[in-house]
Structure 1
């Protein structure tokens, strides 16, 4: 059962399959939207909630693999669970190498499906949270002055205030002010917090010259 708002997308050209899966997942309290083709799915908006996609491998026009490739080019990649009436080992390996979460053969076992969906939604929720934290860090970093960005790189390099002052060519008091401003603007409560934020932003620490 879904404990938080979430969305499951079904992409399958077989109307009976879409109807059966929708009914089953609705009964498990999941919100479901189905599409008859990958093209229709790609044209639809994706809500900002944990989500996953159940997609058939073989369909007229775009295949499930084509959909997977199209999603990979987007900013947010949703977890995919592939479905097929005749899965093969090479097909499964191809899907998993391309990033699919699971490959299931029709008719799909209900318990296995619900388990895979729970895993997919948890993964997407974690990914969404990570992306949101990264976006917030980038927004905060953009508010730093050029001098504060220098102080940021020096601070995460482990330099003391006196050493930072020497590198910045300023007084120790001023270096402390810059460091304090960096901590406040970046929302860091400690130096380890600032280091973690720097890792998110891929900022390289500055070393003493």
Structure 2
């Protein structure tokens, strides 16, 4: 059974407006108390009694994090951490457990967990960890969105415009690029202007940074100095 609650109006800065915290724990009391704690500061919360329920649920593409119990009835939270890579590879995971040991926490952290809490834990520590996890996931989604937009802009370039871009990245001047491509300098200026416009780059420095994100390599001159 899944419980969902929208973000409360007038929430504090500690809760992201469009985000969700998932809780997977087979202890109903823990689900209710932890869910109530998070909702009290304005977080949207969805709770699950088993990993299978979480896997079968519909998840929005918004900043999120997962609070996961290490010891679940008939299942192992650490093993589920490995399996979750296939369905939600980037979701930040916060582990909770009533039976902590050093080896367990080390395994969880090495596998990518953001934090590891032993019950009982301080409420403020959990709230701080959730806020940090949601912000990290928000930054990831923002980067992915901007990168997708950048790839779309790069995809709009014609083959000749891509050639010009690669020569620009190599530091060649318009005249040198014209010699390389066997066209007039004015033609290169036009292509270069189109590249800057389509890529929405305000300077060559910005264009170079965009190319680094896209892994577009400079093209070296074939002519001797």
Is TM-score (shorter-chain normalized) higher than 0.5? Answer: yes
Corresponding residue number in structure 2 for 1:128 = 141
**1:70: Cα distance to partner?**
3.0
Superposition pairs of residues 87-102 of structure 1, within 5 angstroms: 87-102=100-115
Please give the residue correspondences for 1:60-139 in structure 2 after superposition, counting only pairs within 5 Å: 60=73, 62-74=75-87, 77-139=90-152
CA distance in 2: counterparts of 1:12 and 1:169, whole angstroms:
67
3-state SS of 1:129 partner: helix
SS at match of 2:116: strand
Matched, 1:174 2:187: yes
* Per-residue CA distance 1:12-69 (angstroms, 9 max, x = gap): 1111111110111111111100111112212222223221110111224553223322
Q: Of the candidates 179, 185, 199, which is equivalent to residue 186 of structure 1?
A: 199
CA distance in 2, matches of 1:109, 1:69: 27
Q: Provide structure 2 residue ranges, at least 5 long, that are not aligned to the other structure.
A: 1-13
Q: Which residue in 1 is equivalent to 2:163? A: 150
Task: Please tell me whether the aligned partners of residues 24 and 54 of structure 2 are also in contact (alpha carbons under 8 angstroms).
Answer: yes
CA deviation map 1:104-139 (0-9, x unaligned):
111121011011011101111111111111111111
Query: Cα distance 1:70–1:196, how it changes in 2: closer, same or farther (>3 A)?
Result: farther
Q: Does 1:22 align with 2:44?
A: no
Contact 1:85 1:105 in 2 (8 A): yes
Regions of 4+ moved over 2 Å? 60-76
Q: TM-score, normalised by structure 1?
A: 0.93
Aligned-residue offset at 1:151: 1.3
Contact 2:16 2:43 in 1 (8 A): no
Give the Cα–Cα distance (whole angstroms) in 1 for the partners of residues 88 and 216 of structure 2.
Answer: 21
Answer yes or no: is the 8 Å Cα contact 1:38–1:63 preserved in 2: no
The offset of 1:161, in angstroms, is: 1.0
Take 2:149 and 2:87, find their aligned partners in 1: how far apart are those partners? 20
CA RMSD of aligned residues (A): 1.6
The total of aligned residue pairs comes to 209
Q: Secondary structure at the match of 1:82?
A: strand
Return the alpha-carbon distance in structure 2 between the equivalents of residues 200 and 71 of structure 1: 27
1:165 aligns with 2:151: no
2:216 aligned with 1:203: yes
